[in-house]
Amino acid sequence: MSPSYYTFFNDEDNIQSTNVPIIAFFNNKGGVGKTSLVYHLAWMYADLGYNVLAADLDPQANLTSAFLDEERLVQLWVEGQEKHTIYNFLRPLIRGIGDIAPPVVEQVDDMLGVLAGDLELSKFEDQLSEVWPKCMDGDERAFRVMSAFWRILVKAAEQEKADLILMDLGPNLGAINRAALISADYVVIPLAPDLFSLQGLRNLGPTLRDWRKRWNDRLKRNPAKALALPRGTMKPEGYILLQHSVRLDRPVKAYERWIARIPDVYRQQILDKPTPNSPSVYNDPHCLALIKHYRGLMPMAQEARKPIFHLKPADGAIGSHYNAVQQVYRDFHKLAQELAQRIGLNSHSTT
């Protein structure tokens, strides 16, 4: 595993250490099923015995609304009774009256917690844009702002004794995602078999390399040696093809042309290592999984407020639906184990 700088210095200058991989799921093209993917993977890792922290850094906060019921969302977003969202943890820093506030994790299950997103997070965009160049001047506050997401994630992981962090991001290349991605050790790219996903890869690869280089340049100018910062590793760990067609072994013809191009474009744009004869997506080592959308089961899972593979006959998963639920479990079980192996995550349950 390629670890980030995981040492966290708290306000009392006590040094604590953690070793929690942060995995960002990102594509600057929307509509590929990214949030559903993060939601289901978080539940699968919890089922496998890992203590999981899901972090919603998308200002649309769809991951949060998948995990939490409407009553809880009203308390967090509307009534403001409990300011336990990512934006509120940033508020003292944004207002210039302090640093990040201690994060509070919403416990979804014994082994699964979520750092709740917030629609107000978009207000942080301008400030992140403003401080990015100031880091080159050695401005300490600029570094505190740029590292705020990472420091919140690390602190929350320490509190919850998390084994891994799965981070959901919005589909753009703005300042919020730049700050989020420099917090990531690994980047997994969800793709759909279409022109827009390929174009997203062409935009994403050069941008990730540019951000990595520019953050490394800034790290040398950190004036506060007691301020721990992320290394900005952002290692591409592969892609997941979220297949639209009903049968993965019989893709719709219109998608075949795009599917055939994915391995080559991924190598050229993401890895910056063109390969003369790229393999098929079906045996590409950079393809972590091919996952169906299972559209027929999604409404049922949303109604039951659980992942598809937790659906029971009492939820309506009977007959062919029940068989599909079992297939979803196998798909996500295989994906979770594959990703865990690639990042060197210690094995827990193998059921």
With cut-offs at 50, 70 and 90, classify the pLDDT of residue 317: confident
Say if strands 235-243 and 112-115 run parallel, antiparallel, or are unpaired.
Answer: unpaired
> pLDDT tens-digit profile of 136-168?
999 999 999 999 999 999 999 999 999 999 999
Give the residue with greater pLDDT, 245 vs 253.
Answer: 253
When pLDDT is averaged across residues 52-57 and rounded to a whole number, the result is 98
When pLDDT is averaged across residues 10-26 and rounded to a whole number, the result is 64
Rounded Cα gap, residues 170 and 21, in angstroms? 20
Of 238, 245, 244, 252, which Cα lies nearest the Cα of 281?
A: 238
When pLDDT is averaged across residues 29-55 and rounded to a whole number, the result is 92
Rounded Cα gap, residues 311 and 297, in angstroms? 9
Entry pTM: 0.91
Lowest mean pLDDT among 152-166, 183-197, 233-247: 233-247
Residue 298 has pLDDT above 90, yes or no: no
Sheet-wide strand order for 52-56: 106-109, 112-115, 52-56, 164-168, 22-25, 186-191, 235-243, 287-292
Domain 8-343: CATH superfamily is P-loop containing nucleotide triphosphate hydrolases (3.40.50.300)
Of 61, 104, 55, which Cα lies nearest the Cα of 81?
A: 104
Residue 31 has pLDDT above 80, yes or no: no
The mean predicted confidence, pLDDT, of the chain is 88
Token pair in block for residue 125: 């965009």
When pLDDT is averaged across residues 90-99 and rounded to a whole number, the result is 93
pLDDT score, position 348: 64
